[in-house]
Amino acid sequence: MTLLAVLGLSISSAFAQGGTAGPLTWNIENNTLTISGSGEMPDYEIKDPFNNCFWTSAPWGDYRGSIKTVVIEKGVVNIGEFSFFGCGTINSIDIASSVAKIGRSAFCLCHSLKLVVLPHDVTTIEGGAFCDSGLSSITLPSSITSIGYAALSCSELTSVTNLNPIPLAINSDVFEYVNVNACTLQVPNQSVAAYQRAEVWKEFNIVGIEVDVEELRVESGELRVFPNPATGSCSIGMPDEFLYESALTLSVYDASGKLVRQTTLNNNGETPQLQLGLEAKGMYMVVLSNGKKEYRGKVVFN
């Protein structure tokens, strides 16, 4: 790049820049990128990896060196794939409660980003969302129902606050390259025992915290399990409000409160089946949750 081009970029970045992104508008002023409007943010890609241009193809990518704060205003319902990829100077993000999904690799390679608090109503963190960022601390709301491959693969991560009272079933690669044994996991006081038994989560240094009921926002209802008593297997009556949910967590606890089974259901309209085997005798608690609401039912295996 010529000296003139370098000077041109530095001069233009001092002034407001903006435009459209699908149905949304964006504006950069005083090192703050604000995205506003109503609807979905488009998905983007890496601009030109063959020429070592490892940053987002989003229109604000050309100003990535001057963006320090990102504000996603209410009305925006998602953060698109690769939308802030390679924006290494971003050190703060403010995400409105209307956002439900963080797209694939959205904040990957945001090396200056250290602290993230996701708002309630975010349900999905797609693969690589914060991969290789500078993230040291993140707060996950109780609404989360899905976390993708390497979404939180951040070598500097030392603190995770998870407000979900029910441990979400995840793969170990979600926290790839994180030293989970040295990472503190803060969970609701009443959920410490459950997290200490849950795969992946149990590897963390788990600490109980007092959580306001409003932050949990998990309502309960009665779950229908049939036949009951059962022998080896039973069916789960799908609550009407879960009929169109794409990702539900089914957890099974024995009479002592030990988690014995947890799986993610991709609802296809069929009645879920629970198979515990003929040797599984006794009473069990079955919990079906979408992160915001849970249904509980007891079943006795003879």
| Same domain flag for 67 and 149 | yes
Residues β-bridged to residue 234: 274
Q: What is the per-residue pLDDT for 1? A: 40
| Same domain flag for 270 and 256 | yes
Tokens 């069990």 correspond to what residue?
284
At residue 14 the predicted structure's pLDDT band, cuts being 50, 70 and 90, is very low
| Same domain flag for 107 and 223 | no
Closest CA to 162 of 133, 204, 101: 204
Say whether pLDDT at 2 is over 50: no
SS3 for 151-179 is CCCCCCCCEEEECCCCCCCCCHHHHCCCC
Question: Could you tell me how far CA 111 lies from the centroid of its own chain?
Answer: 19
| Same domain flag for 175 and 248 | no
| Same domain flag for 116 and 159 | yes
SS3 72: strand
Q: What is the per-residue pLDDT for 32? A: 95
- Separation of first and last alpha carbons in the chain: 76
Q: In what order do the strands lie in the sheet with 78-79?
A: 78-79, 101-102, 124-125, 146-147
Cα dihedral: 194, 196, 197, 198 (round 10): 80
Q: Are 72 and 79 in contact (CB under 8 A)?
A: yes
From CA 145, how far away is CA 168, in angstroms rounded? 7
Evaluated on CA atoms 49, 51, 54, 60, the torsion sign reads: negative
| Same domain flag for 151 and 274 | no
Q: What is the per-residue pLDDT for 131? A: 97
In one-letter notation, the amino acid at residue 28 is I
| Same domain flag for 153 and 196 | yes
Residues β-bridged to residue 264: 249
> pLDDT tens digits, residue range 65-110?
999 999 999 999 999 999 999 999 999 999 998 999 999 999 999 9
Say whether pLDDT at 260 is over 90: no
Last residue of a domain, one of 215, 239, 257: 215
| Same domain flag for 224 and 208 | no
> pLDDT tens digits, residue range 115-131?
999 988 899 999 999 99
Enter the tokens of residue 64: 């990535």
Enter the tokens of residue 135: 């993230």
Q: How many helices (H) and strands (E) does the chain have?
A: 3, 24
Q: What is the per-residue pLDDT for 128? A: 97
CATH of the domain at 123: 3.80.10.10
List all residues 6 or more positions away from 63 whose beta carbon is below 8 Å from its beta carbon: 13, 17, 28, 33
Question: Which residues constitute the domain of residue 90?
Answer: 3-215
Stretch 164-191: mean pLDDT, rounded? 92
Instruction: Count how many domains the chain has.
Output: 2
Query: Comparing 45-49, 169-173, 266-270, which segment has the lowest mean pLDDT?
Result: 266-270
| Same domain flag for 95 and 139 | yes
CATH of the domain at 286: 2.60.40.10
| Same domain flag for 87 and 199 | yes
From CA 245, how far away is CA 56, in angstroms rounded? 31
Residue 18 has, within 13 A of its CA and on its CB side, a CA count of 14
| Same domain flag for 144 and 192 | yes
Last residue of a domain, one of 147, 181, 215: 215
Query: Comparing 2-16, 17-31, 237-251, 256-270, which segment has the lowest mean pLDDT?
Result: 2-16
At residue 217 the predicted structure's pLDDT band, cuts being 50, 70 and 90, is low
Highest mean pLDDT among 1-10, 98-107, 212-221, 242-251: 98-107
Q: Which 8-state DSSP code applies to residue 40?
A: P
> Which carries the bigger pLDDT value, residue 176 or residue 257?
176
DSSP H or E run through 6: helix 3-12
At residue 220 the predicted structure's pLDDT band, cuts being 50, 70 and 90, is low
Stretch 208-216: mean pLDDT, rounded? 72
Last residue of a domain, one of 215, 239, 272: 215
Q: Which 8-state DSSP code applies to residue 141?
A: -
Mean pLDDT of the chain: 86
| Same domain flag for 170 and 32 | yes
Enter the tokens of residue 116: 């993230």
